[in-house]
Amino acid sequence: MDKRPRMLKSKPSSEPTNNNFVDSYYPNRPSAFESFSLYNIAINFRIRGPNSKSFLNDEPSDNTDIALPPHESQQDVLSPLFRHQVKSFKVDRFNVKLDLVKQHAARFYIPEHNDSDPRSSEGFYRRMCLLFVPWRSESEILSTYGLDTYFETFPTI
């Protein structure tokens, strides 16, 4: 697990941190969304929890109906702006659903990039890979591409 700060829960529990999009929901997305980046999922879907009125009225879903339309090419799917047809999907292991919404601007913290500072540069490219490279576990991004740094990895996508 990386060293990214997380929000602690206000009451002690077995999980000390709150579930969130990056650490909880995106890595546990259905396998049909395997080739979609964090950015793509974030701009197309919103999280709907169990306390939502519409959540309680939904019919049960097991995500078996999720499939890409047959006319979509792999290049279309890899676009960060790819538009999904699926209206909603359940996130495995969590009692939440992600609903398709009108595409919106995602807000992510990306620090200034300083080419003269290798540590700053590596942090910048790490964030770019997290946003635009599909992943299940952050630690597997580098090994998937067989490279040692995010600086080397990002230009290859």
Q: Which domain holds residue 142?
A: 109-157
Total tally of structural domains belonging to the chain: 2
Say if residue 150 is in the same domain as residue 98: no
pLDDT in tens, 8-26: 556 666 666 677 788 888 8
Q: Are residues 77 and 89 in the same domain?
A: yes
Q: How far apart are CA 57 and CA 38, in angstroms?
A: 28
Q: Which of 94, 88, 91 is nearest to 29 (CA)?
A: 91
Give the tens place of pLDDT for each residue, 83-102: 887 888 888 788 888 888 88
Residue with tokens 């650490």: 23
* Co-location of 22 and 95 in the same domain: yes
pLDDT at residue number 55: 47
